[in-house]
Amino acid sequence: MNPVQPIQDPAEIVAAEFSQRVRSYFEKLQSTICSALEEIDGAGKFGRDRWERPEGGGGLARVLEDGAIFEKAGVNTSTVFGTMPASIARKMNVEASGFLATGISLVIHPRSPMVPTVHMNYRYFERSDGDSWFGGGSDLTPSYLFKDDAVHFHSTLKNACDSVDTAFYPRLKKWCDEYFFIPHRNETRGVGGIFFDYLRGDVEKHFTLTRAGGDAFLESYVPIVRRRMAEPWGEHERNWQLLRRGRYVEFNLVYDRGTTFGLETQGRIESILMSLPPHADWRYNVQPLPGTREAALVGVLKNPKEWLNS
Amino acid sequence: MNPVQPIQDPAEIVAAEFSQRVRSYFEKLQSTICSALEEIDGAGKFGRDRWERPEGGGGLARVLEDGAIFEKAGVNTSTVFGTMPASIARKMNVEASGFLATGISLVIHPRSPMVPTVHMNYRYFERSDGDSWFGGGSDLTPSYLFKDDAVHFHSTLKNACDSVDTAFYPRLKKWCDEYFFIPHRNETRGVGGIFFDYLRGDVEKHFTLTRAGGDAFLESYVPIVRRRMAEPWGEHERNWQLLRRGRYVEFNLVYDRGTTFGLETQGRIESILMSLPPHADWRYNVQPLPGTREAALVGVLKNPKEWLNS
């Protein structure tokens, strides 16, 4: 069953019932997540920066900076539509047409090196010739490895995927390890999660998958924050975290499709680069000593694990 | 006059008298610059990290970290040769052949936000079919604008260029403004300098230009360091410097040809990313207030100036 019908006028897409449901879901999820994160943080508050795209649509950027637990957290939604800019059509290797893109994008950089960075993004894209797809996922990037955290994160996402189709998790877990890979470092960005892109076909099923992933976010991440936020750390751990954040910057600016696509197509720069950490470091040729916790993390990044089978 | 003769064997290139002269010049310049910078810094010392490339050649990375004046400074040389990797030939849109590349690359990130970041790079590339070229230049990236510094920097480079050919400076100054441009920020990386690439033809003349630029480096930069290192600054200025360094990271990872080329062709990663600052920040949507020193800098970056005609 595919409720998307070929339509020609971008205005028709925007009015279409299906894309409105998707958009509404993302906007509610944004609000739910921001409230929950503010409650955990206890001090930081998310701003509300509403912006418009002159050619159609806009978004709501919600960023929390300098919180007690979260050093920087961004939870953005946007819905843009109109005639597809030539630059985007070229990148997608399609004819320009009417389009609508709606999505939610989240990146959390906690203050403590013991609390992992997390990313979640879900998006729906529709073209006026009837083509449409979902993309997204969620992945965890620790500076220090706690196996229990990786297992909890993956297990929660697996349950979410399984509620829709048990074929999803193994496929999306592998896709995530392959996508969040930094070739020039020969390591993954973190301990993975799930990722998918250009999921075409049964849009109702894929919307259900997207909702399952979005709804599972707080359950996948909040318990990890709660059990790690009191772990002790000092300057040594902070310095390592800042170097790992440097890798995060390298991945996002060099390889992340959403980021490079946004930069090349003149997207809203402050929303696109919300994902970058508040502080990041680069030092020359740092190699963790064998046997250290830092080496343990790098070992796992160089050899992605099946967290639920070990 | 072009002393490069068509040769087939990469070993012949390495032995060739011209490329040896170029390489020697770069290695002496590296040593001279490192000594001078250590003297100014008074505390920091450059390490010596010699590396080999399994397929031919290698380099000497010299990095100073946590100095008194220089927070991070790298002055690297490398000379690599052999059969051109297929990935590089594809990038250059040429047939694979024997090749030799020799170069010097320098980036200095001073501790004080009042002392500008500087970059210098000169390189010579030769193919066994006889094609060869020089590339390089030098550019200044202040966090706070001091017009005198920009004028001194440009004036020194202009004198160096003029000593070879008065046509060079206007051409290379413009090239620099165009090259060190960050499209997604609609601003240049800094206040410019000179830049050239794929300079073919009279290699002796271009080697003379390269030497003039390399020899002028200390004169172009050291007086600026000396007159700005005692300027007062505090947390406000430091925070702005860290945001500006974020822009430096954005340019280098997204647009810099040397960096992206190195990443795509599996170059030595620690040498390639030596250019990244020791610390960099990203905050959401920071816009300097009109009339501030921060706004004055951004104004110039959005409208590159002719420093020597105003």
pLDDT lower than 50: segments of chain A: 1-6
- CB-nearest to B253 from A63, A250, A269 is A250
B71-92 pLDDT tens trace: 999 999 999 998 887 877 887 7
pLDDT at B15 over 90: no
The verdict on a CB contact (< 8 Å) between B49 and A74 is no
3-state secondary structure of A253: helix
Beta strand pairing call for B132-141 and B117-127: antiparallel
Which residues on chain A are in Cβ contact (under 8 Å) with B242? Answer: 279
Q: What is the rounded CA–CA span in Å between residue B278 and residue A149?
A: 30
**pLDDT at site B4:** 47
A–B: how many Cβ contacts below 8 A? 87
Chain A nearest C-alpha distance from B65 (Å): 8
Residue B163 contacts by C-beta under 8 Å, 6 or more apart in sequence? B212
- CB-nearest to B283 from A263, A269, A278 is A278
Beta strand pairing call for A132-141 and A117-127: antiparallel
pLDDT at B47 over 60: yes
Asked if B218 and B36 touch (Cβ cutoff 8 Å), the reply is: yes
Asked if A169 and A161 touch (Cβ cutoff 8 Å), the reply is: yes
* The two structure tokens encoding residue B91: 């990038």
CB neighbour class for A50 (10 Å; exposed up to 12, middle 13-18, buried from 19): exposed
What length is written for chain A? 310
B170-229 pLDDT tens trace: 999 999 999 999 999 999 999 999 999 999 999 999 999 999 999 999 999 999 999 999
**pLDDT at site A92:** 78
Mean of all residue pLDDT scores within chain B: 93
Q: What is the rounded CA–CA span in Å between residue B102 and residue B58?
A: 10
* The two structure tokens encoding residue A81: 């539509």
**pLDDT at site A129:** 83
pLDDT at B251 over 80: yes
B241-248: average pLDDT: 98
- Could you say which DSSP state residue B177 is in? H
B87-121 pLDDT tens trace: 778 877 887 788 999 999 999 999 999 999 999 99
B152-174: average pLDDT: 98
**Which residues face B90 on adjacent strands?**
none
**pLDDT at site A3:** 46
Rounded to two decimals, the pTM is: 0.94
* Annotated catalytic residue A152: no
Q: What is the rounded CA–CA span in Å between residue B165 and residue B162?
A: 5
Q: Which residue of A has its CA nearest to B268?
A: A184
Asked if B88 and B74 touch (Cβ cutoff 8 Å), the reply is: no
**pLDDT at site B97:** 83
Residue B52 contacts by C-beta under 8 Å, 6 or more apart in sequence? B58
Q: What are phi and psi of A233, to 5 degrees?
A: -155, 160
Residue B53 contacts by C-beta under 8 Å, 6 or more apart in sequence? B59, B80, B82, B268
pLDDT at B5 over 70: no
**pLDDT at site A266:** 81
**Residue from B70, B87, B117, B184 whose CB has the most chain A CBs within 10 Å, to mutate:** B184
Which residues on chain B are in Cβ contact (under 8 Å) with A87? Answer: none
Q: Which of A140, A32, A121, A19 is nearest to A76 (CA)?
A: A121
Assign residue B275 a region (left: φ > 0; alpha: ψ between -120 and 50; beta: otherwise): alpha
pLDDT at B14 over 80: no
**pLDDT at site A97:** 83
